[in-house]
Amino acid sequence: MAERSFKAEVEHLRKGDGDTFTGEGILALTKALLENGVGYVGGYQGAPISHLMDVLADAEELLSELGVRFEANANEAAAAAMLAASVHYPIRGAVTFKGSVGVNVASDALANLASSGVNGGALVIVGEDYGEGSSIMQERSHAFAMKSQFWLLDPRPNLPSITKAVKDGFELSEASNTPVMLMVRIRSCHVTGSFDTRDNQRPKLTVREALSNPQSDFARVVLPPMSFAHEQDKIRNRWPAAERFIRERGLNEVFGPREAPVGLVLQGGMYNGVIRALQRLGLADIWGNSQVPLYVLNVTYPLVASEFHDFCAGKDQVLVIEEGQPEFIEQQLSTFLYRAGSSVRLRGKDILPMAGEYTGQVMLDALSAFLKEAAPDMLPATVRAPNEDRPEIPDLSKTVPIRPPGFCTGCPERPIFAAMKLVQKETGKLQISADIGCHLFAALPPFEIGGATMGYGLGPAANAAFDGGGERRPVAIIGDGGFWHNGLSSSFTNMAFNKSDGVAVIVDNFYSAATGGQDVMSSRADNPTKATKHPITKALKGIGIDWVRQVDRTYDVGRMRDVLREALTTDVPGPKVIVASSECMLNRQRREKPLMQKAIKEGRRVEAPRFGVDEDVCTGDHACIRLSGCPSLSLKRLDDPLRDDPVASIDQSCVGCGNCGEVADAAVLCPSFYRADVVHNPTAWETRLAAFRGRVIGWLQSRRAARRLTFGDAA
């Protein structure tokens, strides 16, 4: 089950002419696709583009009504390849995946698509999450647009601009026979607003209708000599057509006064931050009316030289606000000025940071510095010469600890790494490669397992260099999402073909869990539109890997330890693969908690397991924490003056998975953990029995207390 359901919100996608849509950017994007006659949509559902694929999945019934084909693709490469339908047919198609990691995976398909060109509009919606909110390496999708020459839109982050960009993207693609990339940042996905809707449009040609009249054109096949002709077509025809369309349709926008000594050139996605900074400087109002000229690049590739020169006319200096590095836009604009022999001074990364997110404070500081130097008369007197210095922001890096990501409470992956840590105590440190997914958190304390990751599904492949025989076998970790995304072909087929002697652990939590809990091939839930319940073990056997062990309860730390030890010591040749399966606790709680709350509300008897630590038994050595790391397992100081060290304690966030006790048992730690079942709506007999037990325990406690030696004031 997905992390969030949009079943209620997608009903608003049925609105038509004269209606107003209010909601999030991701829903607005879907509505815009339907209004513009999209024929098919797809994408990689494990890419966390703020739930866009979840919205499309929940809207599948509406898509079917309109004759729109929806596909949850196996990975980004498969999604990009889906756009082949727009090469020969006048069908509009859109696919979506996450920024730079998505285009990395899809680069082969995207390069071929851009080379052949398209007949119908082809839109690639990429979720760009550069900066502090990112979970990936810090790169930009801009480089891929430049490499393959497909056009890149970066609209202003408001719903009318985002929905207009979808329409413009399709039309630009068709006018220039080139695929278009539409970049939506995290804040664009979650921005809330409204826009006037239009009627949803059935595609002019559906994929079903296209099948009745197949088309082909050898000129679009990427083979010599046509591949050489494609490059010439890009430069002589497609690029000029794109520039002409961008200028004539006014896709880029200019705001503020026509004449001024300075101007700002900015990516569309930076517009809100720039306006806010200008407001704080007293140079813009709440409606965005700016006293400084703004050239807003809703299309960041290609750049239109004539449009840029028009903006620069009469200005002494222009500041380019381009988030991320390298400074592709600044370099291109510098070339425009140089070739034109212009005297306009172009500023950019000499004032703004080369790398890092352009937060509100970064933007304010940069605009203040630029205007104080280039046009001080434009600034209010209070800004030019403030009466008092701004208070210095304290450096908290030495006093506030960092908050790295970690496993959720009750996560079934934690016991896998506790078992691995116990095995390493016997074998010594192992060479361990990791993969993309929740299990990557094991690289952090308390486990410190795995130190490198090369890409989704590439965990075992990353260990190939170490798989030539040695004192210890290398170990690789991969998740079930990564296994189906790319791992089966790139990692496990690689291991089987090369007769690897390494060990791979597949962490099977039943979902693409790290990205929202979507189903995968091996999910064990019924899914009416997707094929599930295909065991990973069968896929491994199918490619010739014979040594496969299935562990169906990862919380059994002793069993996990024994299977890992066997994989590392067996004499059996070939790859050794362990499939460690337990359901993602977050998804389990999402499913079970509402049912439990409903049962309690209806007065039915419900048992909820909870674990605790006996303070009298706990020795306070904290080994359990070093082998578990569960957020619900923390420290507690006692009132006992004879015990200085804090003891282990389990708080109310415990979900009753039992991992702490299993770890203590497997590692032969102190037996201080206990389980208590909290009974809601107990029977009359249970209520009377509990009362009787309470009286007996209370009598025993008071009897023991009376025999204790106490120190107090003398009578």
Every domain of the chain and the residues it spans = 9-194+219-248, 252-384, 414-587, 605-706
How many CA atoms within 13 Å lie on the side-chain side of 379? Answer: 20
Tell me which DSSP letter residue 284 carries: B
Tens digits of per-residue pLDDT, 263-293?
Answer: 999 999 999 999 999 999 999 998 889 999 9
Structure confidence at residue 385 (pLDDT): 55
CA distances 674 to 75, 632, 658, 666, Å, are: 44, 15, 9, 15
Q: Hey, what are 355's tokens? A: 């790398």
Q: With a cut of 90, say whether residue 327 has pLDDT above it.
A: yes
- Could you identify the residue written with the tokens 């993309």? 436
Distance spanning both ends of the chain, measured CA to CA: 68
User: 414-587 sits in which CATH class?
Assistant: alpha beta
Q: Hey, what are 284's tokens? A: 């813009």
Is 3.90.1150.10 the CATH number for 252-384?
no
**Spatial distance between the Cα atoms of 95 and 81, rounded to a whole number of angstroms:** 10
Q: With a cut of 60, say whether residue 240 has pLDDT above it.
A: yes
The structure's pTM equals 0.85
Structure confidence at residue 2 (pLDDT): 60
**Orientation angle between helical segments 557-569 and 659-666, nearest 10 degrees:** 50
Phi/psi at 183 (5° precision):
-95, 125
Q: Hey, what are 505's tokens? A: 């652990």
**Spatial distance between the Cα atoms of 360 and 256, rounded to a whole number of angstroms:** 21
Structure confidence at residue 3 (pLDDT): 59
Answer whether 242's CB lies under 8 Å from 178's CB: yes
**DSSP per residue over 140-171, as a string?**
-THHHHHHHT-EEE---SSHHHHHHHHHHHHH
Structure confidence at residue 46 (pLDDT): 59
Q: With a cut of 60, say whether residue 191 has pLDDT above it.
A: yes
Structure confidence at residue 577 (pLDDT): 95
Structure confidence at residue 4 (pLDDT): 64
**Spatial distance between the Cα atoms of 343 and 305, rounded to a whole number of angstroms:** 15
Tell me which DSSP letter residue 23 carries: E
Q: Hey, what are 154's tokens? A: 């970066």
Structure confidence at residue 41 (pLDDT): 93
Q: With a cut of 60, say whether residue 37 has pLDDT above it.
A: yes
Answer whether 326's CB lies under 8 Å from 320's CB: no
How many CA atoms within 13 Å lie on the side-chain side of 122? Answer: 26
How do the residues of the chain divide into helix, strand and coil, expressed in percent and rounded to 5?
Answer: 40, 15, 40
CA nearest neighbour of 230 among 180, 183, 179: 179
Structure confidence at residue 714 (pLDDT): 53
Tens digits of per-residue pLDDT, 341-399?
Answer: 999 999 999 999 998 889 889 999 999 999 999 999 888 876 655 545 666 777 877 77
Residues 112-119: what's their mean pLDDT?
93
Tell me if 414-587 shares its fold with 605-706. Answer: no
Structure confidence at residue 50 (pLDDT): 52
- Least confident range from 29-33, 252-256, 466-470, 520-524: namely 466-470
CA nearest neighbour of 328 among 585, 152, 565: 152
Tens digits of per-residue pLDDT, 674-685?
Answer: 888 888 998 999
- Could you identify the residue written with the tokens 């046509």? 226
CA distances 446 to 78, 431, 440, Å, are: 37, 17, 13
Tens digits of per-residue pLDDT, 613-657?
Answer: 888 888 777 777 777 778 888 888 887 777 777 888 888 888 878
- Least confident range from 26-30, 320-324, 560-564: namely 26-30
**Spatial distance between the Cα atoms of 41 and 414, rounded to a whole number of angstroms:** 37
Structure confidence at residue 712 (pLDDT): 62
Tell me the β-bridge partners of 70. 41
Sign of CA dihedral 362, 367, 370, 371: negative
Q: With a cut of 80, say whether residue 160 has pLDDT above it.
A: yes
CA distances 420 to 43, 429, 628, Å, are: 35, 10, 12
Answer whether 181's CB lies under 8 Å from 142's CB: no
For the domain 605-706, what is the CATH code? 3.30.70.20
Tell me which DSSP letter residue 49 carries: S
**Which fold would CATH assign to domain 9-194+219-248?**
Rossmann fold (3.40.50)
Answer whether 52's CB lies under 8 Å from 30's CB: yes
Phi/psi at 639 (5° precision):
-80, -5
Q: With a cut of 70, say whether residue 56 has pLDDT above it.
A: yes
Distance, CA of 574 to chain centre: 35
